[in-house]
Amino acid sequence: MASSSNPDLWSGLSGFGSSESATPDMRAALLKVNAEMFVAAPARDRESIETFETLMLGSLPRADAATLLALARILAPCADAPASVLDYLVQHAPEARAIVLQHASHLPETVNRRQLATPSGRLRLAARPDLDPATTHRLLLLGEEAVAQALAANPAIAPDTASFKLLVQRARHQSALARILLERDDLAIGDEAPLYLMADAGRRAAIRQHVAAMLSRRRITLSCALTEEDVAEILAVSHRGDVERLESLLSTLLDFPLSTEWHVLELGRHRLLALALKSLGMDWRNATRIFLSLHPALSYPLSTIRELVREVRDVPGPVALALVEAILGAKVLSREHQE
């Protein structure tokens, strides 16, 4: 790419700036002029960038703090600003560090490492629009909820990346993280369906519509049929309040691994039981009997059981099964059921 900047001019200015006859004010002015010329250039090739980098690194040791701060303001937003120059500014001027962190289009590796070392630095990194996959991965390694939430809200973390999939996986057990992800408008059905339990009523309805459309497009047929003996056993274990046995039965009847973690009595997960019963073909009357007998938390207040019965009554069985699979991560939206 041709450059409109002039390396020869910079070479002359560099010699002038290093002259013993140059005053501090002259050197400061020269550095700022060079930085402004570099930023203003409509195109910068490798030679131009390297020439500028050499000039700056040779002159910066003679610059005072005010000049370093001014240079940080000029150079930080420039995508081609040499990382070594930004790193020097960060290391030698505390005020410049804040400007580089806030405005730099890319962070020098040394700055990146320092930010990764502290909780506040990790939060700042997680909100940056230029996050690279390696840094994102390193941010996620520590499992900090605040950092995960900042990443979830960051459009730079695209839904088709491994880091985003990890965020969705964690959000299945972190309601605050799930709510942040659900505010995004770029979620695929495979990302929003696992978060169904944390969604509000309007978003749940939209997710059900998306799942139904997906099943229709892929011509997926989902069905389960309970025998009278199955129904009787489910009612019996519910009457005893034996939630562990009930969850084991659900896994067996739905052909899920016995290690599947349902936790249907945990707050925020009661709706999962309603979906599971509907996916098995349980009618709403028997489902109501289960809600009334399994645990008081499922039937009090009255609005709670009404919500659960409405889920059983109104959600189509195939949609309910696809949602259960997505929430539990037991299968991937029933792809193995495709005809």
pLDDT, one tens digit per residue, over 203-241 is 999 999 999 998 888 765 556 778 899 999 999 999 999
Report which of 22, 25, 52, 50 is spatially closest to residue 36, judged by C-alpha positions: 52
C-alpha to C-alpha distances, 171 to 106, 158, 181, 327, nearest whole angstrom: 29, 16, 8, 10
Is the pLDDT at 337 greater than 80? The verdict is no
Predicted local distance difference test score (pLDDT) of residue 19: 53
For the chain, give the mean pLDDT.
86
Report which of 151, 153, 159 is spatially closest to residue 186, judged by C-alpha positions: 159
Region of 75 on the Ramachandran plot (φ > 0 left; ψ -120 to 50 alpha; else beta): alpha
Predicted local distance difference test score (pLDDT) of residue 219: 60
Q: Which ranges in 127-281 belong to alpha helices (H)?
A: 133-140, 145-152, 162-171, 175-182, 189-192, 201-217, 228-239, 243-253, 270-279
Predicted local distance difference test score (pLDDT) of residue 83: 84
pLDDT, one tens digit per residue, over 114-169 is 888 889 889 988 998 888 888 899 999 999 999 999 999 999 999 999 999 999 99
pLDDT, one tens digit per residue, over 168-186 is 999 998 999 999 999 999 9
Predicted local distance difference test score (pLDDT) of residue 9: 47
Is the pLDDT at 109 greater than 90? The verdict is no
pLDDT, one tens digit per residue, over 27-52 is 888 889 888 988 898 888 888 888 88
Is the pLDDT at 194 greater than 70? The verdict is yes
Predicted local distance difference test score (pLDDT) of residue 6: 53
Residue % of the chain over a pLDDT of 70:
89
pLDDT, one tens digit per residue, over 294-330 is 999 998 898 999 999 999 999 999 999 999 999 998 8
Predicted local distance difference test score (pLDDT) of residue 217: 80
The pTM assigned to this predicted structure is: 0.73
